[in-house]
Structure 1
Amino acid sequence: MRTAEGMLTESGSVQPGVPIPPAPLGWPAALLRRFTVGSHRSSFAHARNVTLGWLVAASLAVIADRLLVDHVLATWTAVAMIGYTLTRAVALVIFERRQQAFERSWLEALSQLLRRHPFEVVALRVQVTVEETRSAVRTVDLTDPADVAWLLHQQADRGADVSPQARIEFGYWGSDGAGRGSDSVRRRLTDLQIRPVDIPITWARIRFPQARYVAVVGDTGSGDRWPGRVAHWSLSGPVQLTTARAT
């Protein structure tokens, strides 16, 4: 069984969106799931509609056997269709519940990995007040001790009615050779947990100790396609920044 951590570390990156795979099963159960649910591009909703179609067909077969065709072959055909329909219905319920339970544990494993994972800070920009009616954006180099000292001073300034806003851009590596991607978050300076280190650093790092992955519908326009859902990160809560030590 491939774990959530194993899947992500194979690509070398924690990413915004990760496809949710089907729950792992032994090959007999996996084969039955394929016949019941369909291919990996099918959905439980589609499978339920197919099962409903089989139920209608089985009902018509029983009616035909009783009213139109009095033959042993027709009787056994109706019995077989009813049996297949019932098997599909029961299997579909079991597989859907198994998938839901798997998704919960999968998302929790991804979330734990996300909270531990450090990202490289590309830029941190703070909106500061220049005059009463004017503001400006200052780019802060978190590898520069002087800039870190300025940031700490701004963070400790309790005289301001509203804590200044910071926009933090960070990078990550996409999977399958997709190259480098970037994302950004906005936080008040009071929500920044600055953790300086004593050694020179080339890149500052950012972590999200309260972040988590949540399941969302994929962008294929397929409604509740399964397993076309993806786990997308939600970078909520305070952030931790590893920076140079202020001078």
Structure 2
Amino acid sequence: MPVDLSMRVAKVSRRMVLRGAMALLSIGQILRPLWARALTARTGTSQSRPPEGVETAIVSCSVNGEHHHLMMDTRTTLLDLLREQLALTGTHKGCDHGQCGACTVLVNGQRVLSCLSLAAMHEGDSITTIEGLAAADGTLHPVQATFIDHDGFQCGYCTSGQICSAVGMLRELAAGNPSYVTADLSAHAEAVTEELHERMSGNLCRCSAYVGISAALSELAQRKVPA
């Protein structure tokens, strides 16, 4: 008896696909240490002697709660350090010019464009990437879960930067930090749509999933979700 594959495909919802993608990300977090060790063994990244004439620095910092003592070329960006030495490839390289926001991470709780920040500047800093937002048991961060609920992405390439930026933005909003569109600088900024859009304007989505992103941000701001 022939099987109607179209009926089976129709039962697979977008949300099921997105949750499956997040599950794969959690698996990636488990495999990341093995991948990082293999990458270091293959390329000699963190401990190998640099080429002659290259100026290096040794930086100690915390990344997603893990302490690292790293040797690097002083020209290395934070983005390249995360991706190439620590195998944290959830942070994406988009424009590499600080214009798209895809590489946004959190440094000491504040959002930073990692493609414009030299890794050697982060001695003693605490850095959080998209891989470090979920709880140790795999429970998603509220911002991650809300983005899924509102279909706040399509291809997903900008999403790690969008989510990290949203976490930092909510902290700024809760602290009362004004933005360019805040009307009264002496009052606490309200989480209105115009404020949220201005504060996230540095994160671009080429798929134009802004409707879902905006809905997710509005819900998070209304719920005053701790970031």
Same fold by TM (over 0.5)?
A: no
**Shorter-chain TM band:** under 0.3
Q: Which has the higher contact order (CA 8 A, sep 6+)?
A: 1
Q: TM-score, normalised by structure 1?
A: 0.22
Structure (1 or 2) with the larger CA radius of gyration = 1
Q: TM-score, normalised by structure 2?
A: 0.24
